[in-house]
Structure formats: structure tokens, C-alpha cells
Amino acid sequence: MFELKKKLAAFAAVTALAVGLPVTAGAQDQIKVGILSHDTGPFAQNGQGFHRGIEVYQALHGKSAGGREIEFVYRDIGGPNPAVGKRLAEELIVREKVQILGGFALSSEALAVGPIVEQTKTPAITFIASSPSVLAGSQYFLKSGQHIAQSSSAGATFARKQGAEKCYIVVSDYQPGYDAQKAFRKTFESEGGQIVGEVRVPLNTVDFAAIVEGIASTETDCINVFVPPGAPAIGLLRALAERGLVESNFVVGMGEAEDHILPQYDDSVVGFKGALYYAEALDNEENKTFIAKLKELYGPDTQPDFASASAYDGAHLIYEMVKSQEGKDWSGPDAVEAVKGLSWNGVRGPMKIDPETRELVQNIYLREVQKVDGKLQNAIVDQLEAVEAPSKEWMEN
């Protein structure tokens, strides 16, 4: 009899999914949140950050909000695979009956899940996926990371503020790389700079000798990079340093040299700059509390990164949605509507959800790798406040 009831419940859920009805849990006193993560594979560092950011938030704020218990359920995509991400999202909604989705390290996975989110009216928070096209995939998507052009355009503005005139762009050959390249170029040129060269490289490139020789033969005072952290970023920055280009140019990227991966670098990374929405060195109470609890839970040598910070701020957004439904039957669409325009102080500083675009308005910081008392660390050397995401028309033209 029990098995029959389980099958009937599963059938009802699948039917609801098929006809576009919201799938709701029977228990109104609990909200389940499905997290699509990378706990294994090349992006496992991000998955670890997702777990830690959420667990730190629950340790500081409890496991309930708005009169409901909040339970997080994790699924491991295991590597870049949008089809697996889509299958796991269906499983979380139909079998686990989650009412909210979160996670999403890669934009391709968020785009694959978009039709499911839209059909089931399930709120979904992308922690890192930052392609401009993600929010267009469903009206129920929100972000706790960034629009990629916020940091890329800020990098161009920082370069111009430092007097850079001629810049060379190196990006990975995939959609986020194209978006970062376009945003940097448009901003740098609109502010009076000149792009003297651009190159796209395969994601797994680690030998940049030929590319750096090409840059060295060009008259530049600025180099913009967007490559994955780890071996590709280390290979590129080391090659630039060996040709003296880190010292002679304003070299700016995004998350290539996070504090927790600096021990993987040698001194060739000193002077590298990254424009991003989070930095461990941020001097605000929320960030201090976040880092203190992170070290308490995972050890004194544990360092935060943009993945754990985004998950922490994403958990706050989830809690605010749940609070908005206190005393009511759960409604995903109403929960999303309730947080449009929401402002709060996150670990990155002031944050606001633009009520029209659902993009975040947030500060972007310029970090510079410095060596202090023999240790490599990022210092904040400049910032742009309340940076808005560019419009769809700006990105397309």
C-alpha cells in the first residue's frame, strides 16, 4: 500500500510538471531548497564554497524563517554538463518536492534548467552563473552573484582611471568569455581607450608562450584577461610576468587570483588586479562575522571566496522569500515578487535587487595582489559603488 501511495504521489507531481502547475510540498511547515552544485570534477571548489556559504548562514541565522523549517538538499552535477543539471533539477522538483532551487556554477546549466523553472514557477537563485541571458530564461530566476559585465566593465573603467590607453584582451573561448570581452571592449573604448588586440583561447589552455609573445610585440599599457582560475590562470600570469608585462602593464582580470588559491602562485602574480564583487579584505561587520564563523566551522586556515560569499548572500535571499510567505500557502511567484527591490547589507557590502531587471545593484572592487610580510594577499585599492547591470540592448549592440 505504501509503495502504491508513493507511485501515485510521484505521478501527480509529474502530471503537475507536465501541465505547468506549481509542484507544492504537502507539508506547509517546511520549505525544501534544492542546490545544484559541483561537488566533484573541475569545479568542485565552487561546490565546496556553496556548501560552506549555506552552512555558515544557517549556523548564524538558524534553520527556519517565517515560521517554516528550511532544508537544503544537494545534487552533484560532477562537471560541465547541462543535460545532467536539467535531469537533477527535474528530480529535485518532482521527487524531492523542493520549492526553491539554488546553486548553478555555470550559465549553461542555468539556461538548461530555465524551462523547468518557468513551467513549475519555482524560484531559482543562481549563485555564480552570470551570463546576461540567464535571467531571460525564466521570470523566476534571481541572482546572488553578478551580471558578468558588471565586473568586466568595471575593470575597463579602473584601467582608464589609472591612465591606460592601449589594451590587449585575452579571454577563454566560451560564452562567458565572449560576454566579458565585449563588455570590457565597449567600456574601454567608450571611455577613450583603444583595443590593440584580442584573442580567444581554449578553456584548457595552460601554455601561453605564443600568445604572450604576440602581446609583447604590440604596444600596450593594459592587458585584460578572463580565464579559469587554476592552471590556465597560473600559466597565463606566469608567462606575462616572465616577459615583464605584469610590471609594465595594468593587468586586470576577475577571479583568477582569489585569496584561497594564491598559495598556488609564485611571486609572478604580484601586481595582478582583479575586478569583482567580493574580496576577503572587505572591512564590514557582515563580512567579519561571515569569515569568523567560516573559520570556526572549517578551521583557522579556511578562507572565503566569491563562491561561498555568493552562497551566503543567496541563502539570505532564500530566507527573505520564505519570510515573505509567513502565514500563507507557499507561492513561488509571490515569493519572487516579494524580494524585487529588496535592499540589504551582504558580506560584499550594500546590495539591491533591481525591481525591473531582477539583476543585482552592487559595489565592484579592484583588488591587487600584494606581498605583505612574505605572504601573498589581495588588497582593495579602488571601488565603484552601486554598479548596475547593463541593459540587454547595451550587450547586444
**Looking at the predicted structure, is the pLDDT value of residue 58 above 70?**
yes
**Looking at the predicted structure, is the pLDDT value of residue 235 above 50?**
yes
Q: Which three cell numbers stand for residue 235?
A: 600559466
Predicted confidence band of residue 190 (pLDDT cuts 50, 70, 90) = very high
**Per-chain mean pLDDT for the chain:** 91
The span from the CA of 72 to the CA of 256, in Å, is 29
Whole-prediction pTM = 0.90
**Looking at the predicted structure, is the pLDDT value of residue 4 above 80?**
no
The span from the CA of 210 to the CA of 233, in Å, is 15
The span from the CA of 322 to the CA of 139, in Å, is 18
Predicted confidence band of residue 28 (pLDDT cuts 50, 70, 90) = low
User: Percent of the chain at pLDDT above 70?
Assistant: 93
The span from the CA of 274 to the CA of 235, in Å, is 16
Strands (E), 221-348: 222-226, 250-253, 273-276, 343-346
Mean predicted confidence (pLDDT) in 382-397: 93
Say which residue the cell 551582504 belongs to. Answer: 346
Domain spans in the chain, listed from the N-terminal domain onward: 30-146+283-358, 149-276+364-396
Phi, psi of 212 (to 5 degrees): -65, -35
364: three-class secondary structure by DSSP = strand
The span from the CA of 307 to the CA of 52, in Å, is 9
Pick the range with the lowest mean pLDDT from 17-26, 80-89, 195-204, 356-365: 17-26
Closest by CA to 380, choosing from 372, 391, 368, 396, is 368
**Looking at the predicted structure, is the pLDDT value of residue 18 above 80?**
no
Amino acid, res. 85: G
52: three-class secondary structure by DSSP = helix
- For residue 264, the model assigns a pLDDT of 87
Question: Is-contact 308 287, C-beta < 8 A?
Answer: no
Same-fold call for 30-146+283-358 versus 149-276+364-396: yes
Q: How many CA atoms lie within 13 A of 272 on its CB side?
A: 29
At the topology level, CATH places domain 30-146+283-358 in: Rossmann fold (3.40.50)
- For residue 23, the model assigns a pLDDT of 44
Phi, psi of 252 (to 5 degrees): -130, 135
Residue by residue, DSSP assigns 129-183 as: ---TTTGGG-TTEEESS--HHHHHHHHHHHHHHTT--EEEEEEESSHHHHHHHHH
* Top-level class of domain 149-276+364-396: alpha beta
Predicted confidence band of residue 271 (pLDDT cuts 50, 70, 90) = very high
Burial grade of 5 (CB within 10 A; 0-12, 13-18, 19 or more):
exposed
Q: What is the pLDDT of residues 148-178, one digit of tens each?
A: 999 999 999 999 999 999 999 999 998 889 9
C-alpha torsion angle, residues 39, 121, 20, 38 (rounded to 10): -10
Burial grade of 367 (CB within 10 A; 0-12, 13-18, 19 or more):
buried
